C-alpha cells in the first residue's frame, strides 16, 4: 500500500538571502507515520508552514493526493537573488497557492510548536469551533437557529471526540488552565475535529515528561488507527521518533541529508555528524 498522500518536490523557501528550506523532496504514503527530524533551525517548521499554506514556497511543488496544493518558481526580485536549486524546473508551471484554511479544508490538519489554543475558550468550545469549517450552515441559518440540527450534531461529535481522548472531564475548563501535556493532546483533538486525512504534528512531545511521552506514542498510534490517519511529525525526542515512525527524513540547513527506516537513519554518519557536529580533522 504505497499510495502517496503528500509529496514535496524541490521545495525551497527563501527569506531575503536566507534559504530556510533548500530543495526538499519527500513523500508520505497513506497510513504511514513519518517523522521529519533535524537539528534546531534546520527548517523543519518552515517545511510544515510551506505545506499548510502559511508560507508560499519560493520554488517547488507540494501535492496532496496527487492534487497540487502549492507550486511556485522564483520570480520578481527573487529571480535574480534566488539561492536555491532547480530554480528553472517549474518556470513553465503556473503558480498555485492556497490560504491555510483551504489546505485544512482539503484534509491536512496541524498542531503548533508553541501551543496555539484559543485562550478565552473552554476545552469543549476549542474543539467545537474547529468543527465550524465542516458545518453545513450559513450565517443566517446559524444566527436564527434554522440549522439547529447541524449545531446539535457538531456538539454530539465534539462530545464524542473529547470522550475518546478522555478530555471530557476538562469539558468546561479554560483550555489554557490545563497541564501542558493535556494542552498538547487537546490541540491534537482540535486538529482531529477538522476531520483530516493527514495530520501534521509539530513537536508533539515538546515539554512532556518521559511518562507523558510514552503515553503520547501509544496515543498517536491509537488516533491513527481510529481515524484512518496518516501522521507526519516533527520531533526531537529520538526514542519517541524511533519507536513510532515507519520512515524518517533528516534535514540539516534546510537540505535533506538522509531518509529511511529508523535503523538506517540511526546508523547514518551524516546524521550523526549533523547532530554531533564534525571534528576539524575528520
Partner 1 sequence: MSFLQTNLPYILAGISVGGQYALIAIGYTMVYGILRLINFAHGDVFMWAGLMMVYFSASMPLWLSIPMVLIVTVILGFAIERVAYKPLRSAPRMSIMISAIGVSYLLQNCALYFTGGLAKNYPTLPWISDTVTIWGATTKVVTLVTPVLTILLVIVLVLLIKKTKIGMAMRAVSRDFETSQLMGIKINTVISVTFVIGSLLAAVGSLLYFTNYASVTPTSGSMPGLKCFVAAVFGGIGSIPGAVIGAFIIGICENIIKGLGWTTFSDAFTFALLIVILLVKPTGLFGEKVTDKV
Partner 2 sequence: MKQLSKKKETWLSVIGIAAVYIIVSVLEIFIPSTSILFTVLKKGAIYALVAVSMNLLNGFTGLFSLGQAGFMLIGAYTYAIFTMPVAIKLTDSVYKYYHCAIGFDMGFLPAIILAGLAAAAFATLIGIPVLRLKSDYLAIATLGFAEIIRAVFQWDELGPVTNGANVMREYLDLSHIKIPFTNIPFPPTLFVFLIAGICIAIIVLLINSSYGRAFKAIRDDEIAAEAMGINLFKHKELSFVISSFFAGISGALLAMFQYTVQAAQFKTAMTYEILLVVVIGGIGSVSGSCIASFLYIACSEWWLRFLDDSQYNVLGLDILRSGFRKVVFSVIIMIIVLFCSKGIMGDKELSVRRLWEKIQRKKAAKKQTVKEGAENE
Judged by beta carbon distances under 5 to 8 A according to partner kind, the member of partner 2, partner 1, none in contact with residue 117 is partner 2
Residues 172-201 that bind partner 1 (CB under 8 A): none
Q: Does 45 bind partner 1 (CB under 8 A)?
A: yes
Judged by beta carbon distances under 5 to 8 A according to partner kind, the member of partner 1, partner 2, none in contact with residue 8 is none
Q: Does 111 bind partner 1 (CB under 8 A)?
A: no
Smallest separation (angstroms) from partner 2 to the CB of 105: 6
**Interatomic CA distance for residues 142 and 148, integer angstroms:** 7
Judged by beta carbon distances under 5 to 8 A according to partner kind, the member of partner 2, partner 1, none in contact with residue 251 is none
Closest CA to 43 of 256, 277, 240: 256
Q: Classify the C-alpha dihedral 112-113-115-116 as positive or negative.
A: negative
Smallest separation (angstroms) from partner 2 to the CB of 175: 9
Q: Which residues of 199-211 are buried (b: 16+ CB within 10 A; e: fewer)?
A: bbbbbbbbebeee
Instruction: Enter the DSSP assignment of 246.
Output: S
Binding site for partner 2 (CB under 8 A): 52, 54, 99-101, 104-105, 109-110, 112, 116-121, 125, 128-135, 137, 139, 142-145, 150-151, 154, 190-191, 193-194
Smallest separation (angstroms) from partner 2 to the CB of 142: 4
Q: Classify the C-alpha dihedral 70-76-77-80 as positive or negative.
A: positive
Q: Do the beta carbons of residue 71 and residue 61 sit within 8 Å?
A: yes
| Position among 12, 22, 23, 49 found at the interface with partner 1 (CB under 8 A) | 49
Q: Does 242 bind partner 1 (CB under 8 A)?
A: no
Residue 211, H or E segment: helix 210-227
Q: Does 54 bind partner 1 (CB under 8 A)?
A: yes
Smallest separation (angstroms) from partner 1 to the CB of 197: 22
Judged by beta carbon distances under 5 to 8 A according to partner kind, the member of partner 2, partner 1, none in contact with residue 191 is partner 2
Q: Do the beta carbons of residue 44 and residue 38 sit within 8 Å?
A: yes
**Interatomic CA distance for residues 206 and 115, integer angstroms:** 10
Judged by beta carbon distances under 5 to 8 A according to partner kind, the member of partner 1, partner 2, none in contact with residue 119 is partner 2
Instruction: Enter the DSSP assignment of 174.
Output: B
Smallest separation (angstroms) from partner 2 to the CB of 35: 20
CA distances from 153 to 5, 98, 131, 136, 226 (A): 29, 29, 10, 11, 20
Judged by beta carbon distances under 5 to 8 A according to partner kind, the member of partner 2, partner 1, none in contact with residue 49 is partner 1
Residues in contact with partner 1 by the rule CB under 8 A: 45, 49, 54, 112
Amino acid at each position: 500500500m504505497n499510495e502517496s498522500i503528500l509529496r514535496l518536490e524541490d521545495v525551497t523557501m527563501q527569506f531575503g538571502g536566507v534559504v530556510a528550506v533548500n530543495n526538499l523532496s519527500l513523500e508520505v504514503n497513506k497510513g504511514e507515520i513519518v517523522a521529519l527530524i533535524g537539528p534546531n533551525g534546520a527548517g523543519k517548521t518552515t517545511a510544515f508552514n510551506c505545506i499548510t499554506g502559511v508560507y508560499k514556497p519560493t520554488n517547488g511543488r507540494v501535492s496532496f493526493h496527487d492534487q497540487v496544493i502549492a507550486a511556485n518558481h522564483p520570480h520578481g526580485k527573487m529571480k535574480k537573488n534566488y539561492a536555491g536549486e532547480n530554480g528553472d524546473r517549474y518556470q513553465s508551471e503556473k503558480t498555485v497557492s492556497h490560504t491555510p484554511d483551504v489546505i485544512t479544508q482539503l484534509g491536512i490538519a496541524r498542531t503548533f510548536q508553541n501551543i496555539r489554543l484559543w485562550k478565552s475558550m473552554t476545552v469543549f468550545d476549542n474543539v467545537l469551533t474547529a468543527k465550524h469549517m465542516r458545518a453545513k450552515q450559513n450565517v443566517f441559518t446559524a444566527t436564527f437557529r434554522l440549522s439547529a440540527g447541524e449545531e446539535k450534531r457538531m456538539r454530539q461529535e465534539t462530545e464524542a471526540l473529547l470522550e475518546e481522548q478522555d478530555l471530557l472531564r476538562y469539558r468546561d475548563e479554560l483550555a489554557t488552565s490545563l497541564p501542558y501535556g493535556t494542552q498538547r493532546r487537546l490541540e491534537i483533538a482540535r486538529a482531529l475535529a477538522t476531520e483530516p486525512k493527514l495530520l501534521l504534528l509539530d513537536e508533539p512531545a515538546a515539554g512532556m515528561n518521559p511518562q507523558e511521552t510514552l503515553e503520547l506514542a501509544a496515543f498517536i498510534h491509537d488516533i491513527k488507527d481510529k481515524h484512518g490517519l496518516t501522521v507526519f511529525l516533527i520531533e526531537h525526542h529520538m526514542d519517541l521518533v524511533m519507536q513510532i515512525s515507519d520512515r524518517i527524513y533528516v534535514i540539516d540547513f534546510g537540505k535533506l541529508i538522509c531518509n529511511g527506516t529508523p535503523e538506517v537513519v540511526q546508523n547514518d554518519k551524516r546524521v550523526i555528524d549533523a547532530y554531533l557536529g564534525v571534528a576539524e580533522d575528520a
